Amino acid sequence: MAEDVTLGDVARASGVSMAAASRALNGKDGVRPEVRDRVQLVADGLGYRPNRAAQNLAGGRASVVGLLLGSDEIRLDIYAASLLQSFVNVADSHDEGLMIIGDSASPNVAVRNLIRDGLIDGVIISAVALGEKWVEELLDANVPTVMVGAHPRRSDLCVVDVENSSSSETVVGHMLDTGCQRVATLTGHLSRVDASLRLDGYRAAHTKRDLTIDDSLIFEGDFSRAAGYERVDEILSANPDALFCANDEMALGVHKGLMERGVSVPGEISLAGFDRTSEIEFAGPLLTSIGQPFDQLATLAIETLSALVDNEQPPLEQLVTPEIFWGETTHPREPTPMEPNVPPDRLERK
């Protein structure tokens, strides 16, 4: 293992003071470009890496972000696992550490401690964790925070999210435009912002076409596969010819139920979901779905948190536009050259 080379070594080798070297390396001004380049070169040559603990202690930052996903979501929730995976990759490429924060006895204390201990600079909280009561307390602790997915009540928090409403509107609109007369929707818990926004999109697709909304076609679910499966009969009794589910999990549950009942998709019922997580599933249907831009969300979240830590004023809300995958569970659409379909890109299994 290479010996540790310190800032002092770099400074000496460059023939400047530590202060100058520090400024040069950190992009602060007050240093001649020529010197800056030289120091940078020497540092690279020596393989210099700043000691984060020292940086942190000296008033800098920890360069580590905390990620809060909820108690058991990593294992149970494909969305959470996918998001985490993206955070792992993005954090790495941003040279940030990523610390996963779990659901301890008193996690709000845990997080505050992490901050005070100087281990992390701030936290990124996924909306899937918002059920946890302690998250609420945490939000008052004044730690730099970025939400992935909006918080139902706190509008003062920076939030990064996918364009829930308009993308849902596009998909539902497509159903309506391809001959479906009775488009139903199975929502998430409507206490969640994303769930309610996706329902808004469903509604907007109708109103913009001067169609009245039949409330008996709206079913409130809970984002779980079981919810989809168990409510198939109830949904069928409303006699729909299309169903927009607020996530893929529910769509898969519904699909299973429909298959068991011999209902053809999309022949008798068109089906679409959200998240595009179902492709991990083995041998499932090629579900039409709105693809969560996980990498973009993670990138935005990390960069926003970074700005927050630096006392900048990042935008309160940043939405990213998802790509819609038109699968085989909805009627085909006219492909336009400007807006080609996203290729299946079915995941390889190891």
Among the candidate windows 13-21, 106-114, 128-136, 243-251, which touches DNA by CB under 7 A? Answer: 13-21
| Residue 44 binds its own copies (CB under 8 A) | no
Report which secondary-structure segment, H or E, holds 31: none
Size of residue set near DNA by CB under 7 A: 30
Are the CB atoms for 275 and 291 separated by under 8 Å?
yes
Tokens of 80: 């959470």
Site string for DNA, 35-64 (x = CB under 7 A): x------------xxxx--xx-xxxx----
| Residue 93 binds its own copies (CB under 8 A) | yes
Report the residue number, 131 or 344, with the smaller CB distance to its own copies.
131
Could you say which of its own copies, DNA, none residue 101 binds, taking C-beta under 5 to 8 angstroms by partner kind?
Answer: its own copies
CA distance 29 to 23: 7
Could you say which of its own copies, DNA, none residue 246 binds, taking C-beta under 5 to 8 angstroms by partner kind?
Answer: none
Could you say which of DNA, its own copies, none residue 297 binds, taking C-beta under 5 to 8 angstroms by partner kind?
Answer: none
| Residue 19 binds DNA (CB under 7 A) | yes
**What's the closest the beta carbon of residue 308 comes to DNA, in angstroms?**
16
Cα four-point dihedral sign 67, 69, 71, 73: negative
Could you say which of its own copies, DNA, none residue 286 binds, taking C-beta under 5 to 8 angstroms by partner kind?
Answer: none
Helix H segments across 78-141? 78-93, 107-116, 133-139
**Residue of the chain from 37, 44, 72, 177 that contacts its own copies (CB under 8 A):** 72
**Residue of the chain from 27, 33, 34, 75 that contacts its own copies (CB under 8 A):** 75
Report the residue number, 310 or 339, with the smaller CB distance to DNA.
310
| Residue 116 binds its own copies (CB under 8 A) | yes
**Residue of the chain from 81, 218, 286, 342 that contacts its own copies (CB under 8 A):** 81
**Residue of the chain from 12, 38, 52, 333 that contacts its own copies (CB under 8 A):** 52
Structural Rg of the chain based on CA atoms:
25
| Residue 347 binds its own copies (CB under 8 A) | yes
Per-residue DSSP letters for 239-287?
--SEEEESSHHHHHHHHHHHHHTT--TTTT-EEEEEES-GGGSTT----
CA dist 341 to 173, 245, 257, 331, 335, Å?
16, 20, 28, 13, 7
Could you say which of DNA, its own copies, none residue 32 binds, taking C-beta under 5 to 8 angstroms by partner kind?
Answer: DNA
Report which secondary-structure segment, H or E, holds 298: helix 294-309
CA distance 43 to 248: 49
**Residue of the chain from 17, 41, 45, 113 that contacts its own copies (CB under 8 A):** 113
Are the CB atoms for 21 and 7 separated by under 8 Å?
yes
**What's the closest the beta carbon of residue 338 comes to its own copies, in angstroms?**
31
Q: Which amino acid, one-letter code, is at 14?
A: S
CA dist 301 to 127, 188, 189, 310, 330, Å?
13, 23, 24, 14, 33
**What's the closest the beta carbon of residue 68 comes to DNA, in angstroms?**
25
Q: Which of 118, 125, 80 is nearest to 101 (CA)?
A: 125
Tokens of 209: 């076409």
Contacts with its own copies in 266-285 (CB under 8 A)?
280, 282-283
| Residue 259 binds its own copies (CB under 8 A) | no
| Contacting residues toward its own copies, per CB under 8 A | 1-2, 4, 49-54, 56-57, 62, 64, 72, 74-78, 81-82, 84-85, 88-89, 91-93, 97-105, 107, 110, 112-119, 131, 141-143, 222-227, 229, 253, 256, 280, 282-283, 347, 349-350
